[in-house]
Amino acid sequence: MTGAATNMRMKLPITCLILQIILIILFGTIVQYDDETDAKEWHEHLHNGSKDADNDFYYRYPSFQDVHVMIFIGFGFLMTFLQRYGFSSVGFNFLIAAFALQWATLMQGFFHGLHGGKIHIGVESMINADFCTGSVLISFGAVLGKTSPVQLLIMALFEVTLFAINEFILLTLLWAKDAGGSMTIHTFGAYFGLMVTRVLYRPNLEKSKHRNCSVYHSDLFAMIGTIYLWMFWPSFNSAITAHGDDQHRTAMNTYYSLAACTMSSYAFSSLTAHDGKLDMVHIQNAALAGGVAAGTAGEMMLTPFGSMIVGFLAGIISVLGYKYLSPILEEKLKIQDTCGVHNLHGMPGVLGAIVGAVTASLATPDVYGKGMEDVFPQIANGEFTASAQGARQAISLAVTLGMALLGGLLVGFILKLPMFGAPSDAICYEDSIYWEGGHFEAFKNIF
Amino acid sequence: MTGAATNMRMKLPITCLILQIILIILFGTIVQYDDETDAKEWHEHLHNGSKDADNDFYYRYPSFQDVHVMIFIGFGFLMTFLQRYGFSSVGFNFLIAAFALQWATLMQGFFHGLHGGKIHIGVESMINADFCTGSVLISFGAVLGKTSPVQLLIMALFEVTLFAINEFILLTLLWAKDAGGSMTIHTFGAYFGLMVTRVLYRPNLEKSKHRNCSVYHSDLFAMIGTIYLWMFWPSFNSAITAHGDDQHRTAMNTYYSLAACTMSSYAFSSLTAHDGKLDMVHIQNAALAGGVAAGTAGEMMLTPFGSMIVGFLAGIISVLGYKYLSPILEEKLKIQDTCGVHNLHGMPGVLGAIVGAVTASLATPDVYGKGMEDVFPQIANGEFTASAQGARQAISLAVTLGMALLGGLLVGFILKLPMFGAPSDAICYEDSIYWEGGHFEAFKNIF
Amino acid sequence: MTGAATNMRMKLPITCLILQIILIILFGTIVQYDDETDAKEWHEHLHNGSKDADNDFYYRYPSFQDVHVMIFIGFGFLMTFLQRYGFSSVGFNFLIAAFALQWATLMQGFFHGLHGGKIHIGVESMINADFCTGSVLISFGAVLGKTSPVQLLIMALFEVTLFAINEFILLTLLWAKDAGGSMTIHTFGAYFGLMVTRVLYRPNLEKSKHRNCSVYHSDLFAMIGTIYLWMFWPSFNSAITAHGDDQHRTAMNTYYSLAACTMSSYAFSSLTAHDGKLDMVHIQNAALAGGVAAGTAGEMMLTPFGSMIVGFLAGIISVLGYKYLSPILEEKLKIQDTCGVHNLHGMPGVLGAIVGAVTASLATPDVYGKGMEDVFPQIANGEFTASAQGARQAISLAVTLGMALLGGLLVGFILKLPMFGAPSDAICYEDSIYWEGGHFEAFKNIF
């Protein structure tokens, strides 16, 4: 069942080992503890009046762990819905995330500013690295089942780099706000992945069609992923916002956006089915769109009311996308989007970016008070008007779309190189080409 | 397999959309950020000497997330033990929780006191909303497999309202203490659900009996729910207690109550079986009764010793209930309690209330010191004696039982209206009437 | 299928009840709230200038909950890989953990120092009790499938006691550092369990060989355990380190160690297979070795660079152990190690101890500054040199190995007593001898 092309005996070990050794060397050369993780430096701060409770660890580590669960359990298990690709879904998710978070530490550290030539790291950089990893995993969702682990590692290598550049443009050059990453994470990851899968278009993929679906228990495993993503999205969006009201408000806005989104997802899933039955694909995915769509404006004074409207719309858009748009994208545009990331991350990400631009442009000192300094420092110090902030948010969306599509195009062609061992059309969505185990044979008629 | 009655094409979308639109309008009208989530207000506090670290977010958000996991993973997966109802268990749990938490925010906000006509929300209201949702999910356990999602949403609508009224009577009018909700959440949810399922009694339910049981993997999925509930119950009981020793003590008391409960559950599960074999139903449920039973007294100076005795008894009562009482309730009282919520939440909830009343009546300044102000403010300021506090706790239990039974009776009759689309007796405990998927057919002989 | 020997009707209930009643009596006699959980005492502290935010609960409770998840979900589900032993894996893990954490509270409390004849407990003692429990669960992994629950409870009884003694020798007598327990938890638990399984050697175990393997979905359940262990290991290693930079740094070191370990595990899993396919056993286990190996040095100034090297090596050692060493141990030394704890906890634990000794011996004031007081108080106050600290770390490893092997030998012989009801060689790795359920028969050809 396994052809020479997919034999990973040399390709995968060499790729992993080379990448990891490079990472270790680079970490040894240019990475340092930041002031809050370094024994000497932190005790200097203590000497100068700080307290241990002021250490950023206590403000952000619980959120970090929630984000971590989203990355490894959430994304990993969400993709186990395929009947014969559960090992690869969780296992490759695990592999590329373990690589990407290290590489992201370097790329983001480089762009976020060096300290005497060194990258300083702590809990905030760990969260940011996980965020960047999330973007790669979104793209993974688009190509799920059709790419070898070597292709995925190469994709991660380039995507993390481009992510860091795009993030630098948005947050540092344009001074856009995007704490939960509607643009930087979701829009970028989705359109990047869609372009990659477009370039990797497989005209004969119907040979593997019978495996591109779920079975009963695989859908339950996927629901573990869904529910964890849903529960912890408030932590995701608030993880790197400013201390105090900002983290608190962002988490709460996201919570209400998700709740409303769940309601509209169920409604439209049932409404768009002949017999009114719910579709697991919608529940697993569309119900999460409210978290994506609150990714930019969540930290702003969106109000629970505004958050609920955003979530409500996101759920509708997402279900309609799965039902009507995905088939068109596949037939007309030749975009084979395994997980429907366009519906969960793409359109809701764009919606979130637009909501963010509008909300920013409506910011007034009357509403934000002195809190303006945390949310929109440039408006607070008179550098921009609120409209200018809104315009910068809108430009950021355009930049992100451009970067994602161009980047995906480029990387898609790189991934076509035969040496990366893509599986043939007839053995997509199939664990047994990558994983050992006699039980694949014994149970192949059952699962 | 799907009759007209269970076709949800119009009923479910309309119900979801109307409810959600009403929620959005009400949130837009009367809900506001509280002082700790509002940018302007919080920065006023900072100006007046508060620090970001004082924001309640940092005291309660980790506990909130644990509670959130209990509500969505814990309850959701605990109910997946049914062989053909996993989608509905997790999926309807998700739907009614997403609705209930929004509605609870309004109902509880209304009763907890308005601020200039507005409901103020923050992390504490989010926890309280999750708590109220938990109560609805307990009732869901009693009717699991026998109700349509529309019925469940209607049930949630009324139950949340009655929950908020009962909670108001207990906590505000009677000044009872019930941080972990032995009374407000567990006793109320259980007896409400039991009365609903009594009113919805199905004489021909044996037609679906063959599906009212588990298979190997469905029991493992259910164990995910069990273990999460067990692990995070300390966070549940301590989530809204006072800062400092109260949160700390409550978590610890609950931890020991659960440990002792697990031991007695295993002992009695084995003891009551002919062949000494353990019953998964007991392990999945009875081992949790220690958390329920520590819900009222957990914040008091119950001592680890007292907590362990409470948990030990709760486990025994719960196993014996499953083994001997549930069959009697079904045969004699016509109470078809799918998950046995009477054994997990009902009796242990009553036990918890009694333990709370006794522990309160024994409170002395010698034991509580100045901590009396946090746990029993009325005793501390001389308004009540300890005995009076105990009496109020006992009255609260009676009120809760009355509210639950009367409320359940009323709501049960409402749910009997045919327009809500209850499934017929022959298709209970069956996912395929609500969920799309060809794999239901392909695998129906297997799972 | 069930012989008299494995009938637990009397043995299991009596064991559970006697142990639990003894625990309750001992807790009632000698356990008290500590200053941070006691209402009166904590309010004295508040009176004397402390704030609620200073309560250790807020520094450690999120980490505690992560550790708790590792113990109950992580270990429990990691062991569900066996096709017919999922109930017992999760269920016995649950039982012995519930017992061990109570017993550990007493044993550790006794050795960590009494307060006026009383053991004082709070969140730190809860974490320590979970740690000790983890050690027992590691030993459980070695004997998985071959021991009755009564044997496991007896093993836990003795192992916890010996753990506490060993921990006392290391931390209090030798002043070694071992925050994440490379020695106290992993090395001790692994070699103790290996010796127990050696003593319990079953020459005819091949009669159950056909059940000593996984099926597709059991491997996915096991991945839930793996991923949770992986994600929360940073919390495990940092849970009881000093406040501030120590917790922060330890979590971060562990995070990078694990990431590098994952990369090398994948590389070597593929490299050592004829066809380059990945082995789920390696991914489920070896990818975690980086957490074990960072258990001692994680709190030191190991640097991310050092952490990555440690993790990288741990992954390699662990995969090679599974591939080449385990078969030799089984054939030559008659060590039947079901989960391969020697590869996941044994060798990586020893590696971690060595890394800790080396890192300690290299400690300089220039690197640690005033932080030396937290990490190496004896070096800071001039009591030891860094080399002496390193030597003490090395001696600690030797002591731990000795204690584990001797303890395991002793306890192994105790467990051989026939009254504890070990299953016969032909019914190992089999749930149906301990668990009720007709579905075992109905589905025995499938799973």
Enter the ipTM. 0.96
C-alpha dist (Å) from residue A433 to A8, A422, B100, C223, C280: 9, 11, 45, 19, 13
Token output for A18: 């080379």
CA atoms of B423 and A198, how far apart (whole Å): 44
Mean pLDDT of A76-102: 97
Mean pLDDT of B279-304: 97
Token output for B273: 């079986």
CA atoms of C177 and C186, how far apart (whole Å): 14
Token output for C445: 């050809």
| pLDDT tens-digit map of C184-217 | 999 999 999 999 999 999 999 999 999 999 999 9
Token output for C440: 């075992």
Token output for B261: 């409960």
Contact B13 A219 (CB under 8 A): no
The residue in chain C having the minimum alpha-carbon distance to the alpha carbon of residue B51 is C53
CA atoms of C103 and A438, how far apart (whole Å): 42
Cβ–Cβ < 8 Å for C142, C197: yes
CA atoms of A353 and A177, how far apart (whole Å): 10
Is the pLDDT confidence value at A34 over 70? yes
Residues of chain C below pLDDT 70 = 1-6, 438-447
Residue A80: which residues within 8 A CB-CB, separation 6 or more?
A86, A89, A90, A218, A221, A222, A225, C220
CA dihedral (A361, A367, A369, A375) positive or negative: negative
DSSP conformational letter for C300: S
Measured between CA atoms, how close is C12 to chain B, in angstroms? Answer: 6
Contact A95 C266 (CB under 8 A): yes
Please give the residue that has the higher pLDDT: either C5 or B424: B424
Name the nearest CA neighbour of C214 among C279, C170, C158, C165. Answer: C279
Q: pLDDT tier at B7 (50, 70, 90 boundaries)?
A: confident
Is the pLDDT confidence value at B188 over 60? yes
Cβ–Cβ < 8 Å for B159, B407: yes
* CB environment A325-351: b (16+ within 10 A), e (fewer): bbeebeeeeebbbbbbbbbbbbbbbbb
CA atoms of C133 and C116, how far apart (whole Å): 26
Q: What is the pLDDT of residue C274?
A: 87
Angle between helices A245-271 and B123-143 (to 10 degrees): 30
Cβ–Cβ < 8 Å for C304, C257: no
Q: pLDDT tier at A440 (50, 70, 90 boundaries)?
A: low
Residue B166: which residues within 8 A CB-CB, separation 6 or more?
B184, B188, B399, B400, B403, B404
Q: What is the pLDDT of residue A6?
A: 67
For B32, the enclosing helix (H) or strand (E) is strand B31-33
Residue A356: which residues within 8 A CB-CB, separation 6 or more?
A177, A178, A182, A183, A295, A296, A297, A300, A393
Please list every residue in chain B whose beta carbon sits closer than 8 Å to the beta carbon of residue C101.
Answer: 255, 259
Measured between CA atoms, how close is A331 to chain C, in angstroms? Answer: 33
Q: What is the pLDDT of residue C437?
A: 77
Q: Could you tell me what percent of chain A has a pLDDT over 70?
A: 96
Q: Among A4-18, A201-215, B17-31, whose mean pLDDT is lowest? A: A4-18
CA atoms of A145 and A426, how far apart (whole Å): 11
Angle between helices A56-69 and C56-69 (to 10 degrees): 20
Mean pLDDT of B27-48: 97
Q: Could you tell me what percent of chain B has a pLDDT over 70?
A: 96
Cβ–Cβ < 8 Å for C383, C308: no
Contact A9 C276 (CB under 8 A): yes
Give the count of Cβ contacts less than 8 A between chain A and C: 230
Provide the CB-side half-sphere exposure for A225 (13 A, CA): 29
DSSP conformational letter for B119: E
Write down the pTM of the prediction.
Answer: 0.97
Q: What is the mean pLDDT of chain B?
A: 95
The residue in chain A having the minimum alpha-carbon distance to the alpha carbon of residue C305 is A28
Interstrand relation of C31-33 and C119-121 (parallel, antiparallel or unpaired): parallel
The residue in chain A having the minimum alpha-carbon distance to the alpha carbon of residue B87 is A220
Q: What is the pLDDT of residue B5?
A: 64
Q: What is the mean pLDDT of chain C?
A: 95
Cβ–Cβ < 8 Å for A177, A356: yes
Is the pLDDT confidence value at A96 over 50? yes
Q: What is the pLDDT of residue C6?
A: 67
Q: pLDDT tier at A442 (50, 70, 90 boundaries)?
A: very low
For C390, the enclosing helix (H) or strand (E) is helix C386-415
CA atoms of C65 and B20, how far apart (whole Å): 34
Please list every residue in chain B whose beta carbon sits closer than 8 Å to the beta carbon of residue A446.
Answer: 446
Token output for B304: 């680890």
Mean pLDDT of A68-78: 98
Q: What is the pLDDT of residue B437?
A: 77
Name the nearest CA neighbour of C130 among C25, C235, C10. Answer: C235
Measured between CA atoms, how close is B290 to chain C, in angstroms? Answer: 12
Contact A53 C59 (CB under 8 A): yes
Q: What is the pLDDT of residue B385?
A: 97
Contact C20 B230 (CB under 8 A): no
Contact A263 B17 (CB under 8 A): yes
Question: Which residue matches tokens 């300890």?
Answer: B386
Measured between CA atoms, how close is A85 to chain C, in angstroms? Answer: 10
Q: Which residues pair with C278 in a beta bridge?
A: A435
Which of B20, B90, B122 comes nearest A252 by C-beta?
B122
Fill in the amino acid letter for B207.
K
Provide the CB-side half-sphere exposure for B22 (13 A, CA): 11
Q: What is the pLDDT of residue B274?
A: 87
Token output for B210: 């063959």
Please list every residue in chain A whose beta carbon sits closer than 8 Å to the beta carbon of residue C231.
Answer: 65, 68-69, 72-73
* CB environment B292-313: b (16+ within 10 A), e (fewer): bbbbbbbbbbbbbbbbbbbbbb
Q: What is the pLDDT of residue B6?
A: 67
Name the nearest CA neighbour of B283 among C343, C98, C340, A102. Answer: C98
Q: What is the pLDDT of residue C442?
A: 44
Measured between CA atoms, how close is B353 to chain A, in angstroms? Answer: 30
Please list every residue in chain A whose beta carbon sits closer than 8 Å to the beta carbon of residue C252.
Answer: 33, 37, 121-123, 126
Residue C43: φ, ψ to 5°: -70, -25
Name the nearest CA neighbour of A221 among B77, B74, C213. Answer: B77
Is the pLDDT confidence value at B4 over 90? no
The burial class, CB within 10 Å (0-12 / 13-18 / 19+), for B27 is buried
Within 10 angstroms of residue C116's Cβ, the number of other Cβ atoms is 6
Contact B47 A259 (CB under 8 A): no
CA atoms of B376 and C3, how far apart (whole Å): 56
Which of B220, B367, B374 comes nearest C80 by C-beta?
B220
Fill in the amino acid letter for A371.
G
For A121, the enclosing helix (H) or strand (E) is strand A119-121
Is the pLDDT confidence value at A71 over 70? yes
Token output for A164: 């860091």
Contact C439 B270 (CB under 8 A): no
Cβ–Cβ < 8 Å for C337, C197: yes
CA atoms of B119 and C397, how far apart (whole Å): 59
Q: pLDDT tier at A100 (50, 70, 90 boundaries)?
A: very high
Name the nearest CA neighbour of C15 among C153, C160, C120, C135. Answer: C153
Name the nearest CA neighbour of C260 among C318, C301, C299, C322. Answer: C318
CA atoms of A37 and C250, how far apart (whole Å): 8
Residue C213: φ, ψ to 5°: -160, 175
